[in-house]
Amino acid sequence: MTLRDDGRDSATMLRPFQIDADVPGAAPGRVLVRAGKTAVLCTASVADDVPPWLQGQGKGWVTAEYNMLPGSTHPRKRRERGGKVDGRTSEIQRLIGRSLRAVVDLAQLGERMITVDCDVLEADGGTRTASITGGFIALAAALEAIPDLDLTETTPLVDSVAAISAGIVDDTVLLDLDYSEDVRAAVDMNIVMTGGGQFVEVQGSGEEATFSGQQLTALLEVARHGIAELTSRQTEFLGTVWPPPRSAGT
């Protein structure tokens, strides 16, 4: 008998994680990432300007936008029009932007802005964490495409970044929740870490429940190992685009 709803036989096993760079588009950085049934198209575009409040300061900016396409959920999700986004969307794209900027030396980037767009094609839990993990890959690829940025000499990337969910479902600590597990979770967390093992952000709460310090430690530990595995996948995919970071387990 399997332990997980999607057939995984371990509480600490990631869903199958796939990275596909063979996707159409004009953005210099673009990948389709899949975590189980969740699929997110991540693209990174480069502009040779910065927001007005950064002009003349000699450094760049990295920002993100997040969107769930109408067909990504059932029932259909209505489009957000007129530049207006709901609270959840705004919170997620701010999280993605913060996570990516945490590993970028904005002075090394120069006065240019990179916008990472994360469009959810199919949602089965973990869309924000997949967006961060895939968004970093798209960002790194976009940097490689900037003609006057010699990555053999220096790189604006000071580390990698990836994210994963963890939670407590039926009194069991689980890694990388799918939707069916997420809606039943007594405790749900999203953890963002660098490849070097530093925390960028930890979002966690109990749903009509509390959790102990011991459970918190267990959640962070399974997340650490999950992010180490995702970091390895990023490194393998990107190759020499950026210096490989230290293991997330160190």
DSSP string, the chain: --SSTTS-S-TTPPPPEEEE-----SSSEEEEEEETTEEEEEEEEEES---GGGTTSS--EEEEEEEE-GGGSSSPPPPP-TT---HHHHHHHHHHHHHHHTTB-HHHH-S-EEEEEEEEEE-SS-HHHHHHHHHHHHHHHHHHT-TT--TTT--SBSS-EEEEEEEEETTEEEES--HHHHTT-SEEEEEEEETTS-EEEEEEEESS----HHHHHHHHHHHHHHHHHHHHHHHHHHGGGSPPPPPTT-
Looking from the CA of 224 toward its CB, the CA atoms found within 13 Å total: 15
Question: What pLDDT, on the 0 to 100 scale, is given for residue 247?
Answer: 37
Question: What pLDDT, on the 0 to 100 scale, is given for residue 53?
Answer: 87
Domains of the chain from N-terminus onward: 17-241 (3.30.230.70)
Question: What pLDDT, on the 0 to 100 scale, is given for residue 240?
Answer: 56
The Cα 65–Cα 214 span in angstroms is 35
Q: How far lies 16's CA from each of 7, 122, 230, in Å?
A: 11, 15, 11
Q: Per residue of the chain (250 residues), what is the pLDDT tens digit?
A: 358 888 999 999 999 999 999 999 999 999 999 999 999 999 999 999 888 888 888 899 999 999 998 889 888 988 877 667 788 899 999 999 999 999 999 999 989 999 999 999 999 999 999 999 999 999 999 998 888 776 666 789 999 999 999 999 999 999 999 999 999 999 999 999 999 999 999 999 999 899 999 999 999 999 999 999 999 999 999 985 555 443 343 3
pTM for the model stands at 0.92
Looking from the CA of 121 toward its CB, the CA atoms found within 13 Å total: 12
